[in-house]
Structure 1
């Protein structure tokens, strides 16, 4: 099973694995921690989260495909895991006052490319968002190998900057990846993670198995080429990016097998500094100010037959705290709290919860 099918299949089949929206207590503690607080609900396939100015959260919503789309005339095609329908239902939700008793969530970006099953589940679209150093908001858009209306075609496979005049394409990640394939890699691209910094924007292409950098002038280069194992398909599959003390933390899905996912710590030039291994199905990563690492696992064990989790890795001791969650898609930390998107493959029941960090 190769990378794009691995990631899309993981998301698609996770729909049947989410049996309950409940949250189990963290392990390794004699007393259960305070229960989670929902800060946003009724989200459409929510994925990765970013923290912006004044603690504002932005959540990427992959949308519902053609369900509720303004144009339902585009014929559904056959995707890697079954019928796939295209629409403009992707969005970004902002959450104000997420640390308070009365957070306010509102969709601030709408009309984004979304591909989903006919019922709107298991979507892919805008899978991650990021705030730039000066507060600008950008996102990374999936790549769809299909003819699209002009409005959606200009978003396809792009880094998008969200402006009052609509989403503006900044860099064509999909075209770059397909023209710079790694040896042994299939001609696939699935831009999935994004992180803006003062020195450029980093993008994780899960299917191309690369970490890319987009300069402030729009030039694209490969920072890190992850493993491509043509014989068994256990590729690197980078899904998410965080930064701490000038280093990059890249979450890697790697494989469906439990324990083969990881978080790789890199210098900005791509040199590997450290690897946190023994994880499963990593879909998101964040790092607290003290260096604690947080990773979301879509599954904690046997794929499609185990819950997901938030894993906290202590910077001081290396101890791991696991909090079971239903299909988490992304994580952000700030102000002493961890924020996690859950039910991340649901077209209607997605949410963001707040947990003590």
Structure 2
């Protein structure tokens, strides 16, 4: 992404030590005459008025919900209610009653713009599977998985993708009266899901399989695309998916996987700049690069005008955790946990091809984005073990799951 840079002007250096004093008064006279001429010219010819450029509306970022356990996908209901999937704490409990993955509906019943009043929090499910990749796969990263994304069908059905690990992977169909029905797909973790234009199929980003699925509402699964390796031989890791409302194309965020550092021979979590967004033709399965040069792009959204919004989880990797690190120790040292905390961002790529605009930066591990009916953006932040000590911008702090709302100021 191009950046602005200031160019220093050359400085003039003069010294009177080498000046012939016999000509000093001539120089002073010449300077005085020149100054007088300049002043008279300015007085006679006033400078033309220059209109200030109209400032572009700036984004307003506010915390809408806080204290959540790894908020992920968000769907917006017909009355403005928010359906929020929470991946949970990451504690892999044996007793299902101790599982902490959730699906919650938030209603702004009194219209005050928040959801913290009595009767505004409607918990649909509280004990869905959750786990942490550090404990499951010794990834050395604090990565919580569980309920991942949620869709609301126009007929009232809800579709919820869940990555509970191994045999607990699902794409659940939930009836309007909150009954979990069929599991439409359980073949690979589906971090992001999106309807096609007719709401007859669901596209799913299958990260571990490096594939894009198309799943019918009857449960028929088609492997639409298998993504090849990225620039440095790492897996593509599709993480986010969105459908272009103008033509039905599918945008897929390719997060990028581990890569081998040629200088050391060791594997690193990712290569900055290798992540990208691709555009998939759902008829042919062909795809092309849409946005390149990204880092850990984890989700993507597109509005009706064709503006694209990307979410980048972090700008760099940092503080890989020991394999036996206690994620739930409140006295643990404040470590990043694999990704540089408070380095995530949301960027707008205008449909007209003009310069990208960073709408929010310095975010703590953002993961999901949803566009609201008034073009407002909802962004989930705070990935990782809730309450774990981490380095913050102003000193040690803890992981807090939040939903941010980004609006464009008039």
TM-score under structure 1 length normalisation = 0.72
Question: Which residue matches 1:129?
Answer: 150
Question: Which residue matches 1:225?
Answer: 226
Deviations 1:247-300 (A, max 9, x none): 211111024211111111122222225521111111121112211111111113
Shift in CA distance, 326/125, structure 1 to aligned 2, threshold 3 Å: same
Partners of 1:48 and 1:284 within 8 A in 2: no
Question: Which residue matches 2:250?
Answer: 248
Shift in CA distance, 263/72, structure 1 to aligned 2, threshold 3 Å: same
Partners of 2:191 and 2:206 within 8 A in 1: yes
The reply to whether residue 170 of structure 1 matches residue 169 of structure 2 is: no
**Structure 1 residue matching 2:144: 3-state secondary structure:** coil
What is the CA–CA distance in structure 1 between the aligned matches of 2:214 and 2:105, rounded to whole Å? 26
Structure 1 residue 65: Cα displacement:
3.3
Deviations 1:126-179 (A, max 9, x none): 11111223332111111523xxxxxxx5xx2111122335422332332xxxxx
Structure 1 stretches of at least 4 aligned residues deviating more than 6 Å after TM superposition: 29-32
Deviations 1:22-46 (A, max 9, x none): xxxxxxx989945422221111011
What is the CA–CA distance in structure 1 between the aligned matches of 2:80 and 2:105, rounded to whole Å? 11
Partners of 2:375 and 2:407 within 8 A in 1: yes
The reply to whether residue 71 of structure 1 matches residue 91 of structure 2 is: no
Deviations 1:159-212 (A, max 9, x none): 1122335422332332xxxxxxxxxxxxxx432111133231111110100001
Give the alignment partner of residue 140 of structure 1, picking from 155, 161, 169: 161
Structure 2 segments unaligned to the other structure (5+ residues):
1-53, 136-141, 258-269, 319-338, 388-399
Shift in CA distance, 32/111, structure 1 to aligned 2, threshold 3 Å: same
What is the CA–CA distance in structure 1 between the aligned matches of 2:238 and 2:307, rounded to whole Å? 20
Q: Which has the higher contact order (CA 8 A, sep 6+)?
A: 1
Question: Which residue matches 1:305?
Answer: 340
What is the CA–CA distance in structure 2 between the aligned matches of 1:64 and 1:137, rounded to whole Å? 23
Give the alignment partner of residue 356 of structure 2, picking from 320, 334, 345: 320
What is the CA–CA distance in structure 2 between the aligned matches of 1:60 and 1:193, rounded to whole Å? 11
Larger mean CA deviation between 344-353 and 252-261 belongs to 344-353
Partners of 1:109 and 1:162 within 8 A in 2: no
Question: Which residue matches 1:93?
Answer: 104
Structure 1 residue 49: Cα displacement:
2.2
Q: Which one has a bigger Cα radius of gyration?
A: 2
Question: Which residue matches 1:22?
Answer: none
What is the CA–CA distance in structure 2 between the aligned matches of 1:286 and 1:96, rounded to whole Å? 23
**Structure 2 residue matching 1:315: 3-state secondary structure:** coil
Shift in CA distance, 38/107, structure 1 to aligned 2, threshold 3 Å: farther
TM-score under structure 2 length normalisation = 0.63
Partners of 2:82 and 2:105 within 8 A in 1: yes
Partners of 2:184 and 2:217 within 8 A in 1: no
Question: Which residue matches 1:196?
Answer: 195
The reply to whether residue 350 of structure 1 matches residue 401 of structure 2 is: yes
Deviations 1:295-337 (A, max 9, x none): 1111134553360111111111242112211110111112131
What is the CA–CA distance in structure 1 between the aligned matches of 2:375 and 2:76, rounded to whole Å? 13
Shift in CA distance, 89/305, structure 1 to aligned 2, threshold 3 Å: closer
The reply to whether residue 112 of structure 1 matches residue 128 of structure 2 is: yes
What is the CA–CA distance in structure 1 between the aligned matches of 2:144 and 2:317, rounded to whole Å? 22
Partners of 1:66 and 1:72 within 8 A in 2: no
Partners of 2:242 and 2:300 within 8 A in 1: yes
Question: Which residue matches 1:258?
Answer: 272
Question: Which residue matches 2:171?
Answer: 159
Structure 1 segments unaligned to the other structure (5+ residues):
1-28, 74-86, 146-152, 175-188
More strand by share: 1
What is the CA–CA distance in structure 1 between the aligned matches of 2:165 and 2:385, rounded to whole Å? 20
The reply to whether residue 102 of structure 1 matches residue 119 of structure 2 is: no
**Structure 1 residue matching 2:383: 3-state secondary structure:** coil
Structure 1 residue 345: Cα displacement:
2.1
**Structure 2 residue matching 1:309: 3-state secondary structure:** strand
What is the CA–CA distance in structure 2 between the aligned matches of 1:97 and 1:274, rounded to whole Å? 40
Shift in CA distance, 97/265, structure 1 to aligned 2, threshold 3 Å: farther
